Amino acid sequence: MSATVLIAGAGTSGLALALSLLRNGLSVRIVEKQLHFHPGERGAGLQSRTLELYKFLGILPDILERSISGITLRNIQYLSAPDNGKPPRIVRAPLESKNTPARPLIETRFLGQNRHEQLLRELILAEYGVRVELGTELQSFEQHPDHVVARLVKIVDSNPVEETVSVNWLVGADGARSVVRKQLGLSFLGETPDTEAVTGDIHVIGETLNQDQGDGLLVWIRPDDTPAGFMRPCLVPGKNLFQFIILGHKDLDMVKISSSREEMIKGFYEITGRRDIEFGELVWMGLWKPNIRMVDSFGKGRVFVVGDAAHVHSPTGGQGMNSGIQDSFNLAWKLALVEKGSAPESILKSYSDERTPVIASMLNMTTELFRKELAPKPGQRKDFVRGPELLQLGINYRGSLLVLDEKYTDKDEIVDPYRSGDDGTVRAGDRAPDAPSLTHLSPNESANTLSLFDIFTTVQHTVLIFPGTAGEGFVTEVVETLGEYPSNLLKSILVLPRSSSSSTSTSSFAQSALTLIDTEGYGYVNYMVAADIPTVFIVRPDGYIGALVTSGRLGVRKYFSGIFL
Ligand SMILES: Cc1cc2nc3c(=O)[nH]c(=O)nc-3n(C[C@H](O)[C@H](O)[C@H](O)COP(=O)(O)OP(=O)(O)OC[C@H]3O[C@@H](n4cnc5c(N)ncnc54)[C@H](O)[C@@H]3O)c2cc1C
């Protein structure tokens, strides 16, 4: 079976990458060493930014249909451990901010990783006929100047069968113990805290704990005020299923607890005192040791790493799976352009350059939460309080060599890779905000209003031209310049101020591209465009602003000279 890209590992990072590459017209092979798909919930929290990226990928309706709102899980009950009959202290985790015209998908959603992966597998198979190859392990690879040779071992009728494949690119989405990372010789710096936990999913029988009662997260606290364990409902319709974490303690034998369902239940009763809870089937369980590490580079030559293969950390803050998906979005469009011969290989370096500071920042945040919530010293525990940055809407690539900003030119700006969009500016490198209520200029077009998020796609740059009160000259110049680039890789939108009418003279452009009126003014407000300064925003296929251009032709050419060949 031939393919351009071989992806090793069919977790959420590998599957999101596969779908993004397939959308971009590349052929993909995705191999998974396990004989069966992982049945566990693990990372169930989908952050706002992931939902936005899935909208651009065209799969948000499927995700919304299968996931549930994260709202009920904001009820956190702190219980004494072992239970001394004291009533729980109930804390309602602070509300995330509400949806706004710029941020329309604020509410996080919950979808167990097993069901999330199943959905991605189904889409890839239904739309592209690509099936995850189970029982197929990447064992090693060799890099050549224009291809990679990978050695796979496949289990056929219980026997290992070797296969050597030649591909143009290899991506290791092969998790924390990544073979690809090790063989590339990437350093994986960080620490391994002296803690461990047993985690898994288990059914609860009877009414002592009912996932539909809105119990939210249960946290058992020891007399010395350190946490003993957690439980949260998985909220799978028709199943009373809970995810549990039993935290290590000097009095507990964690290897024994993780050895069988019976030992796990004994351990649970010991730490919580809740012998009234009757358990049913154990779906899965594993002994987990936190590692806080990341690579020094996200790839070399024709081989890359994404997701847990590139960074591992505590689950506190729910960032891991979401970060892996964003690695994949950052890499996919660049790899697609290079493979199609439309961009130089040098843009691939920006994948590592852009993701490194974001992931370093994420590791710091999740480690801080880990020390406060999961492994505090006695007396230093803090309740779960989550900042809005964990929604990942502030992640940005400001200062990246790939982006161009003609408005904010301070080279000494201190960039916080996790926080942008709240400082009163919208800059190159930032997440491109949404803007709803855009109407078609041409009366022949649909009467439906559009939002920019309906327009952004993972396969093209979107060029937003805000002419403000400037004359037709600016628009004509920009449109002419855009004609110098492959039309299938760009889409151009002219956003006219709300005062414009169908008689507005933008005739030449209006005929060749989408012309929209900013009826409610959200476009100009959310992009902070002054009516008297004509501005162009070039939005990348991963939803980040590649360029903020005020000079017209010059700026457009400058940005695309770093992207297209
Ligand atoms: C209890 C728990 C709760 C969590 N909660 C959250 C949360 O709420 N939000 C969040 O964002 N994250 C959360 N995480 C983290 C999240 O689960 C991981 O970050 C995520 O699984 C990473 O996905 P991945 O695809 O990069 O790697 P993985 O899910 O590890 O997938 C890698 C795949 O590669 C396969 N593989 C390995 N080696 C090879 C090889 N040589 N050849 C072929 N295949 C191979 C593996 O079998 C595996 O299927 C949680 C984790 C745990 C344990």
Omega within 30 of 0 (cis) for the link into 82: yes
Residue showing tokens 């974490």: 245
Whole-angstrom Cα distance, residue 504 to residue 513? 15
Which tens digit of pLDDT belongs to each residue from 334-365?
Answer: 999 999 999 999 999 999 999 999 999 999 99
Pick from 55, 63, 59, 40: which is nearest to 109 by CA?
63
Band the pLDDT of 444: cuts 50, 70, 90: low
Q: Give yes or no for residue 110 having a pLDDT over 60.
A: yes
Would you state the pLDDT for residue 96?
A: 59
Q: Give yes or no for residue 504 having a pLDDT over 60.
A: no
Beta bridge partners, 91, equal 76
Sheet containing 136-143: which strands, arranged edge to edge? Answer: 136-143, 148-156, 159-167
- Our answer on whether the CB atom of 542 is closer than 6 Å to any ligand 1 atom is no
Q: Give yes or no for residue 536 having a pLDDT over 90.
A: yes
- Our answer on whether the CB atom of 14 is closer than 6 Å to any ligand 1 atom is yes
Whole-angstrom Cα distance, residue 191 to residue 20? 32
**What does 454-499 look like in DSSP terms, one character per residue?**
HH--TTSEEEEEE-TT--HHHHHHHHHHHTTS-GGGEEEEEEE-TT
Task: Count the Cβ atoms, other than its own, within 10 Å of residue 379.
Answer: 8
Mean pLDDT of the chain: 92
- Our answer on whether the CB atom of 40 is closer than 6 Å to any ligand 1 atom is no
Would you state the pLDDT for residue 542?
A: 98
Average the pLDDT over 211-215 and give the result: 74
Q: Give yes or no for residue 419 having a pLDDT over 70.
A: yes
End-to-end alpha-carbon separation of the chain, Å? 30
Whole-angstrom Cα distance, residue 106 to residue 108? 6
Give the up-direction half-sphere exposure of residue 499: CA atoms within 13 A in the CB hemisphere: 6
Whole-angstrom Cα distance, residue 310 to residue 316? 18
Tokens standing for residue 72: 């009920």
Q: Residue 261 is inside which H or E element, if any?
A: helix 261-272
Q: Whose CA is nearest to atom 37 of ligand 1?
A: 174
Would you state the pLDDT for residue 112?
A: 96
Q: Residue 295 is inside which H or E element, if any?
A: strand 292-295
Q: Higher model confidence: residue 266 or residue 290?
A: 266
Band the pLDDT of 316: cuts 50, 70, 90: confident
Q: Residue 91 is inside which H or E element, if any?
A: strand 89-92
- Our answer on whether the CB atom of 267 is closer than 6 Å to any ligand 1 atom is no
Q: Give yes or no for residue 494 having a pLDDT over 80.
A: yes
Tokens standing for residue 513: 């591209």
Would you state the pLDDT for residue 269?
A: 95
Q: How far is the CA of 360 from the centre of ligand 1 (A)?
A: 18
Whole-angstrom Cα distance, residue 27 to residue 21? 8
CA 310 to chain centre: 14
Q: How far is the CA of 321 from the centre of ligand 1 (A)?
A: 7
- Our answer on whether the CB atom of 294 is closer than 6 Å to any ligand 1 atom is no
Tokens standing for residue 274: 């809740």
Residue 67 burial by CB count (10 A; 0-12/13-18/19+): exposed, middle or buried?
buried
Instruction: Name the DSSP class of 124.
Output: H
Average the pLDDT over 515-525 and give the result: 95
Q: How far is the CA of 42 from the centre of ligand 1 (A)?
A: 8
Which tens digit of pLDDT belongs to each residue from 50-66?
Answer: 999 999 999 999 999 99
Share of the chain above pLDDT 70, in %: 95
- Our answer on whether the CB atom of 174 is closer than 6 Å to any ligand 1 atom is yes
Whole-angstrom Cα distance, residue 528 to residue 512? 26
Helices (H), 91-168: 113-128
- Our answer on whether the CB atom of 175 is closer than 6 Å to any ligand 1 atom is yes
Q: Give yes or no for residue 214 having a pLDDT over 90.
A: no
> Closest ligand 1 atom to the C-alpha of 286?
53
Tokens standing for residue 557: 């050419």
Pick from 559, 131, 563: which is nearest to 340 by CA?
563
Q: How far is the CA of 541 from the centre of ligand 1 (A)?
A: 25
Tokens standing for residue 431: 């997440």
Among the ranges given (127-136, 166-175, 190-199), the one the predictor scored with the smallest mean pLDDT: 190-199
Pairing status of strand 169-172 against strand 5-8: parallel
- Our answer on whether the CB atom of 33 is closer than 6 Å to any ligand 1 atom is yes
Average the pLDDT over 13-24 and give the result: 98
- Distant-in-sequence, close-in-space partners of 53: CB < 8 Å, separation ≥ 6: 325, 326, 329, 458, 542, 543
Q: Higher model confidence: residue 181 or residue 413?
A: 181
Sheet containing 217-221: which strands, arranged edge to edge? Answer: 89-92, 75-80, 217-221, 227-233, 241-247, 197-205, 278-288
CA 508 to chain centre: 39
Output the 3-class SS for 299-362.
EECCEEECHHHCEECCCCCCCHHHHHHHHHHHHHHHHHHHHCCCCCHHHHHHHHHHHHHHHHHH
Whole-angstrom Cα distance, residue 228 to residue 289? 15
Would you state the pLDDT for residue 511?
A: 54
Would you state the pLDDT for residue 83?
A: 79
Among the ranges given (102-111, 123-132, 348-357, 415-424), the one the predictor scored with the smallest mean pLDDT: 415-424
Would you state the pLDDT for residue 442?
A: 73
Would you state the pLDDT for residue 330?
A: 98
Whole-angstrom Cα distance, residue 124 to residue 557? 36
